[in-house]
Amino acid sequence: MTARVVTVTLNPAIDVTYRVAALHLGGTTRISDVRSRAGGKGVNVAAVLRELGGESLVLALTTTRTPDEFRDGLDGLGLAHRLVPALPAVRRTVAVVTRTDGTTMLQENGFPAGETAEAGILDGLGAELAAGAGAVVISGSVPEGLDADVPAKLVRLCTRHAVPVIADVSGAALRQVAGSGAVLMPNEEELKELGGPDAGQDLVAGGAPAVVVTLGPEGAIAVTARGTWRARPAEVVTGNPAGAGDAGAAALARHLIGTSEVDWPAALADVVATSAAAVLRPVAGEVDVAARDRWMSAVEVERIR
Protein backbone atom coordinates (compact mmCIF):
# COMPACT_ATOMS: atom_id res chain seq x y z
CA MET A 1 0.00 0.00 0.00
CA THR A 2 1.32 3.47 -0.92
CA ALA A 3 2.16 5.67 2.06
CA ARG A 4 -0.17 8.56 2.70
CA VAL A 5 0.65 12.03 1.37
CA VAL A 6 -0.28 14.86 3.74
CA THR A 7 -1.23 18.14 2.08
CA VAL A 8 -1.07 21.36 4.10
CA THR A 9 -3.44 24.25 3.34
CA LEU A 10 -3.08 27.33 5.53
CA ASN A 11 -5.54 29.46 3.54
CA PRO A 12 -8.43 27.16 2.53
CA ALA A 13 -11.29 28.20 0.29
CA ILE A 14 -14.69 27.38 -1.01
CA ASP A 15 -14.09 27.20 -4.77
CA VAL A 16 -16.96 28.25 -7.01
CA THR A 17 -16.78 27.67 -10.77
CA TYR A 18 -19.16 29.47 -13.14
CA ARG A 19 -19.32 28.30 -16.77
CA VAL A 20 -20.84 30.99 -19.01
CA ALA A 21 -21.20 31.66 -22.72
CA ALA A 22 -19.57 35.08 -22.32
CA LEU A 23 -18.58 37.40 -19.47
CA HIS A 24 -20.28 40.79 -19.80
CA LEU A 25 -18.28 43.33 -17.81
CA GLY A 26 -20.54 46.08 -16.52
CA GLY A 27 -23.64 44.09 -17.47
CA THR A 28 -25.52 40.94 -16.56
CA THR A 29 -24.02 37.49 -17.17
CA ARG A 30 -26.32 34.46 -17.14
CA ILE A 31 -24.68 31.43 -15.54
CA SER A 32 -25.39 28.11 -17.24
CA ASP A 33 -23.43 25.87 -14.87
CA VAL A 34 -22.33 26.32 -11.24
CA ARG A 35 -20.07 24.05 -9.22
CA SER A 36 -18.97 24.62 -5.63
CA ARG A 37 -16.59 22.55 -3.50
CA ALA A 38 -14.09 22.69 -0.68
CA GLY A 39 -10.88 24.05 -2.13
CA GLY A 40 -7.49 25.56 -1.65
CA LYS A 41 -4.33 24.34 -3.31
CA GLY A 42 -3.63 21.54 -0.84
CA VAL A 43 -7.18 20.23 -1.17
CA ASN A 44 -6.73 20.10 -4.94
CA VAL A 45 -3.48 18.15 -4.49
CA ALA A 46 -5.17 15.66 -2.16
CA ALA A 47 -8.10 15.15 -4.53
CA VAL A 48 -5.80 14.51 -7.51
CA LEU A 49 -3.68 12.09 -5.48
CA ARG A 50 -6.80 10.06 -4.81
CA GLU A 51 -7.73 10.08 -8.52
CA LEU A 52 -4.26 8.75 -9.30
CA GLY A 53 -4.75 5.86 -6.88
CA GLY A 54 -2.85 7.27 -3.92
CA GLU A 55 -3.83 7.92 -0.31
CA SER A 56 -3.96 11.48 0.98
CA LEU A 57 -4.97 13.53 4.00
CA VAL A 58 -5.86 17.23 4.09
CA LEU A 59 -4.30 19.14 6.99
CA ALA A 60 -5.80 22.61 6.99
CA LEU A 61 -7.02 25.55 8.97
CA THR A 62 -10.78 26.03 9.04
CA THR A 63 -13.40 28.25 10.59
CA THR A 64 -14.27 28.33 14.27
CA ARG A 65 -17.94 28.78 13.32
CA THR A 66 -20.64 26.21 12.79
CA PRO A 67 -21.83 25.01 10.42
CA ASP A 68 -18.43 24.57 8.77
CA GLU A 69 -18.97 24.54 5.00
CA PHE A 70 -15.31 23.69 4.37
CA ARG A 71 -15.36 20.63 6.65
CA ASP A 72 -18.66 19.52 5.16
CA GLY A 73 -17.21 19.98 1.68
CA LEU A 74 -14.24 17.73 2.46
CA ASP A 75 -16.61 15.11 3.81
CA GLY A 76 -18.65 15.40 0.62
CA LEU A 77 -15.52 14.83 -1.46
CA GLY A 78 -14.63 11.83 0.67
CA LEU A 79 -11.21 13.28 1.57
CA ALA A 80 -9.61 12.32 4.87
CA HIS A 81 -8.75 15.40 6.91
CA ARG A 82 -7.33 16.83 10.10
CA LEU A 83 -8.60 20.38 10.60
CA VAL A 84 -7.49 23.17 12.94
CA PRO A 85 -10.33 25.65 13.73
CA ALA A 86 -8.55 29.01 13.75
CA LEU A 87 -10.24 31.23 11.11
CA PRO A 88 -13.29 33.48 11.57
CA ALA A 89 -14.50 32.25 8.16
CA VAL A 90 -13.23 30.46 5.06
CA ARG A 91 -12.71 32.63 1.98
CA ARG A 92 -14.32 32.05 -1.41
CA THR A 93 -12.74 31.97 -4.86
CA VAL A 94 -14.66 32.25 -8.11
CA ALA A 95 -13.53 30.97 -11.51
CA VAL A 96 -15.55 32.28 -14.46
CA VAL A 97 -14.94 30.03 -17.48
CA THR A 98 -15.87 30.98 -21.05
CA ARG A 99 -15.07 29.34 -24.38
CA THR A 100 -13.63 32.50 -25.93
CA ASP A 101 -11.89 34.25 -23.02
CA GLY A 102 -10.70 31.30 -20.94
CA THR A 103 -10.80 31.52 -17.15
CA THR A 104 -11.13 34.68 -15.06
CA MET A 105 -10.25 34.19 -11.39
CA LEU A 106 -11.71 36.21 -8.51
CA GLN A 107 -9.89 35.46 -5.25
CA GLU A 108 -10.54 36.74 -1.77
CA ASN A 109 -7.37 37.22 0.29
CA GLY A 110 -8.75 35.25 3.21
CA PHE A 111 -9.48 35.97 6.84
CA PRO A 112 -6.86 36.48 9.58
CA ALA A 113 -5.84 33.35 11.47
CA GLY A 114 -6.20 33.25 15.24
CA GLU A 115 -3.36 32.94 17.72
CA THR A 116 -3.75 29.16 18.01
CA ALA A 117 -3.27 28.55 14.28
CA GLU A 118 0.50 28.07 14.15
CA ALA A 119 0.74 25.69 17.10
CA GLY A 120 -2.31 23.78 15.88
CA ILE A 121 -0.98 23.20 12.37
CA LEU A 122 2.51 22.26 13.63
CA ASP A 123 1.03 19.81 16.13
CA GLY A 124 -1.23 18.33 13.48
CA LEU A 125 1.64 17.80 11.07
CA GLY A 126 3.81 16.32 13.81
CA ALA A 127 1.10 13.78 14.58
CA GLU A 128 0.75 12.79 10.91
CA LEU A 129 4.52 12.46 10.48
CA ALA A 130 4.71 10.25 13.55
CA ALA A 131 1.91 8.13 12.11
CA GLY A 132 3.99 7.39 9.01
CA ALA A 133 3.31 9.99 6.30
CA GLY A 134 5.20 9.17 3.10
CA ALA A 135 5.45 12.74 1.79
CA VAL A 136 4.10 16.22 2.51
CA VAL A 137 2.96 18.96 0.14
CA ILE A 138 2.65 22.52 1.49
CA SER A 139 0.64 24.64 -0.91
CA GLY A 140 -0.85 28.08 -1.27
CA SER A 141 -0.82 31.42 0.48
CA VAL A 142 -0.29 32.26 4.13
CA PRO A 143 -3.23 34.10 5.71
CA GLU A 144 -2.88 37.26 7.73
CA GLY A 145 -2.17 36.41 11.36
CA LEU A 146 0.50 33.83 10.49
CA ASP A 147 4.12 34.76 9.85
CA ALA A 148 5.59 34.08 6.42
CA ASP A 149 8.05 31.64 7.98
CA VAL A 150 5.37 29.12 9.01
CA PRO A 151 5.77 27.02 5.82
CA ALA A 152 9.55 26.91 6.49
CA LYS A 153 8.86 25.71 10.04
CA LEU A 154 6.63 22.97 8.64
CA VAL A 155 9.34 21.94 6.17
CA ARG A 156 11.96 21.72 8.92
CA LEU A 157 9.61 19.53 10.93
CA CYS A 158 9.35 17.19 7.92
CA THR A 159 13.12 17.04 7.47
CA ARG A 160 13.57 16.11 11.13
CA HIS A 161 11.33 13.10 10.42
CA ALA A 162 13.20 12.36 7.15
CA VAL A 163 9.96 12.80 5.16
CA PRO A 164 10.25 14.43 1.69
CA VAL A 165 8.32 17.67 1.31
CA ILE A 166 7.24 19.86 -1.59
CA ALA A 167 6.67 23.59 -1.06
CA ASP A 168 4.41 25.35 -3.57
CA VAL A 169 4.24 28.78 -1.97
CA SER A 170 4.97 32.33 -3.12
CA GLY A 171 6.14 35.76 -2.04
CA ALA A 172 7.73 36.12 1.37
CA ALA A 173 6.87 32.52 2.24
CA LEU A 174 8.82 31.27 -0.79
CA ARG A 175 11.85 33.33 0.20
CA GLN A 176 11.66 31.93 3.73
CA VAL A 177 11.25 28.32 2.60
CA ALA A 178 13.97 28.42 -0.07
CA GLY A 179 16.75 27.12 2.18
CA SER A 180 14.70 24.88 4.44
CA GLY A 181 15.11 21.53 2.63
CA ALA A 182 11.94 21.38 0.50
CA VAL A 183 11.58 20.52 -3.16
CA LEU A 184 10.42 23.89 -4.51
CA MET A 185 7.69 24.31 -7.16
CA PRO A 186 7.67 27.97 -8.24
CA ASN A 187 6.24 29.21 -11.50
CA GLU A 188 8.34 31.32 -13.85
CA GLU A 189 7.38 34.64 -12.25
CA GLU A 190 8.03 33.37 -8.74
CA LEU A 191 11.46 32.10 -9.79
CA LYS A 192 12.31 35.57 -11.11
CA GLU A 193 11.58 36.97 -7.65
CA LEU A 194 14.27 34.64 -6.29
CA GLY A 195 16.94 35.82 -8.70
CA GLY A 196 16.04 35.13 -12.32
CA PRO A 197 16.64 32.26 -14.76
CA ASP A 198 19.66 30.87 -12.91
CA ALA A 199 18.02 30.98 -9.49
CA GLY A 200 17.19 27.27 -9.67
CA GLN A 201 20.86 26.32 -9.67
CA ASP A 202 21.54 28.67 -6.77
CA LEU A 203 18.63 27.24 -4.77
CA VAL A 204 19.87 23.67 -5.29
CA ALA A 205 23.37 24.73 -4.29
CA GLY A 206 21.81 26.29 -1.19
CA GLY A 207 20.22 23.01 -0.09
CA ALA A 208 16.98 22.52 -2.02
CA PRO A 209 16.78 18.86 -3.17
CA ALA A 210 15.28 20.08 -6.46
CA VAL A 211 13.50 23.02 -8.03
CA VAL A 212 10.63 22.22 -10.42
CA VAL A 213 9.68 25.34 -12.36
CA THR A 214 6.20 25.19 -13.88
CA LEU A 215 5.84 26.96 -17.23
CA GLY A 216 2.11 26.63 -17.86
CA PRO A 217 1.39 25.42 -21.41
CA GLU A 218 5.15 25.29 -22.11
CA GLY A 219 5.70 22.44 -19.64
CA ALA A 220 8.19 22.40 -16.76
CA ILE A 221 11.89 22.34 -15.86
CA ALA A 222 13.48 20.29 -13.07
CA VAL A 223 16.78 21.55 -11.64
CA THR A 224 18.66 19.07 -9.45
CA ALA A 225 22.21 18.39 -8.29
CA ARG A 226 22.40 15.55 -10.85
CA GLY A 227 21.21 17.56 -13.83
CA THR A 228 18.53 19.77 -15.34
CA TRP A 229 15.69 18.54 -17.56
CA ARG A 230 12.93 20.22 -19.52
CA ALA A 231 9.62 18.59 -20.43
CA ARG A 232 7.05 19.80 -22.95
CA PRO A 233 3.41 18.69 -23.21
CA ALA A 234 2.51 16.11 -25.82
CA GLU A 235 -0.38 18.25 -27.10
CA VAL A 236 -1.69 21.80 -26.92
CA VAL A 237 -4.48 21.73 -24.36
CA THR A 238 -7.22 24.30 -23.78
CA GLY A 239 -9.64 24.46 -20.89
CA ASN A 240 -9.54 25.50 -17.24
CA PRO A 241 -5.94 25.95 -16.01
CA ALA A 242 -6.99 26.50 -12.39
CA GLY A 243 -5.52 23.63 -10.40
CA ALA A 244 -3.06 22.47 -13.08
CA GLY A 245 -0.07 23.27 -10.87
CA ASP A 246 -1.68 21.45 -7.96
CA ALA A 247 -2.15 18.38 -10.15
CA GLY A 248 1.54 18.55 -11.02
CA ALA A 249 2.46 18.70 -7.34
CA ALA A 250 0.32 15.62 -6.68
CA ALA A 251 2.10 13.73 -9.45
CA LEU A 252 5.53 14.74 -8.14
CA ALA A 253 4.72 13.74 -4.56
CA ARG A 254 4.16 10.15 -5.66
CA HIS A 255 7.70 10.01 -7.07
CA LEU A 256 9.27 11.21 -3.80
CA ILE A 257 7.83 8.52 -1.53
CA GLY A 258 10.26 5.93 -0.25
CA THR A 259 13.30 6.87 -2.34
CA SER A 260 16.32 9.14 -2.21
CA GLU A 261 17.06 8.62 -5.93
CA VAL A 262 14.20 10.17 -7.88
CA ASP A 263 13.96 9.34 -11.59
CA TRP A 264 13.65 13.00 -12.57
CA PRO A 265 12.89 12.58 -16.28
CA ALA A 266 10.02 10.21 -15.41
CA ALA A 267 8.83 12.46 -12.58
CA LEU A 268 8.91 15.55 -14.79
CA ALA A 269 6.98 13.77 -17.56
CA ASP A 270 4.36 12.85 -14.97
CA VAL A 271 4.15 16.44 -13.70
CA VAL A 272 3.56 17.78 -17.21
CA ALA A 273 1.12 15.07 -18.30
CA THR A 274 -0.93 15.31 -15.11
CA SER A 275 -1.00 19.12 -15.21
CA ALA A 276 -2.24 19.06 -18.80
CA ALA A 277 -4.87 16.46 -17.91
CA ALA A 278 -6.16 18.78 -15.19
CA VAL A 279 -6.77 21.55 -17.74
CA LEU A 280 -9.29 19.27 -19.48
CA ARG A 281 -11.47 19.12 -16.39
CA PRO A 282 -13.93 21.93 -15.52
CA VAL A 283 -13.06 22.03 -11.80
CA ALA A 284 -9.73 22.32 -9.99
CA GLY A 285 -8.79 19.12 -8.15
CA GLU A 286 -9.81 16.82 -10.99
CA VAL A 287 -7.82 15.24 -13.84
CA ASP A 288 -8.70 13.39 -17.01
CA VAL A 289 -6.93 10.18 -15.99
CA ALA A 290 -7.22 8.57 -19.41
CA ALA A 291 -5.58 11.56 -21.10
CA ARG A 292 -2.86 11.65 -18.46
CA ASP A 293 -2.08 7.97 -18.99
CA ARG A 294 -2.02 8.47 -22.75
CA TRP A 295 0.35 11.42 -22.54
CA MET A 296 2.80 9.99 -20.00
CA SER A 297 4.98 8.28 -22.60
CA ALA A 298 4.48 11.03 -25.20
CA VAL A 299 5.82 13.96 -23.16
CA GLU A 300 9.12 15.14 -24.62
CA VAL A 301 11.87 15.30 -21.96
CA GLU A 302 15.35 16.58 -22.74
CA ARG A 303 18.40 17.07 -20.58
CA ILE A 304 19.56 20.68 -20.84
CA ARG A 305 22.39 20.68 -18.30
One DSSP character per residue, 174-236 reads: HHHHTTTTPEE--BHHHHHHTTSTTHHHHHHHTT-SEEEEE-GGG-EEEEETTEEEEEE-SS-
Helices 41-51 & 69-77 angle (0-180, nearest 10): 10
pLDDT tens digits for 3-52? 899 999 999 999 998 989 999 989 999 998 898 999 999 999 999 999 99
- Taking alpha carbons only, the member of 17, 14, 13, 15 closest to residue 96 is 17
* pLDDT (0 to 100) of residue 95: 87
**Average of pLDDT values for 191-204?**
87
* pLDDT (0 to 100) of residue 238: 87
Q: Which of 11-25, 112-126, 133-147, 209-223 is least confident?
A: 11-25
8-state DSSP, 288? -
- Residue 243 in this model has a pLDDT that exceeds 50: yes
Distance in angstroms (rounded) separating the CA atoms of residues 122 and 280 = 35
**What is the separation, in whole angstroms, between the first and last Cα of the chain?**
36
**Average of pLDDT values for 161-181?**
95
- Residue 1 in this model has a pLDDT that exceeds 90: no
- Residue 232 in this model has a pLDDT that exceeds 90: yes
Distance in angstroms (rounded) separating the CA atoms of residues 11 and 27 = 31
Between residues 241 and 137, which one has the greater pLDDT? 137
Between residues 144 and 241, which one has the greater pLDDT? 144
* pLDDT (0 to 100) of residue 195: 83
Average pLDDT of the chain, as a whole number: 94
> Which one of 3.40.640.10, 3.30.870.10, 3.40.1190.20, 3.90.110.10 gives the CATH number of domain 5-14+39-90+111-303?
3.40.1190.20
* pLDDT (0 to 100) of residue 266: 97
Domain boundaries, the chain: 5-14+39-90+111-303
Percent of the chain with pLDDT over 70: 99
pLDDT tens digits for 178-197? 989 999 999 999 998 888 76
pLDDT tens digits for 45-81? 999 999 999 999 999 999 999 999 999 999 999 999 9
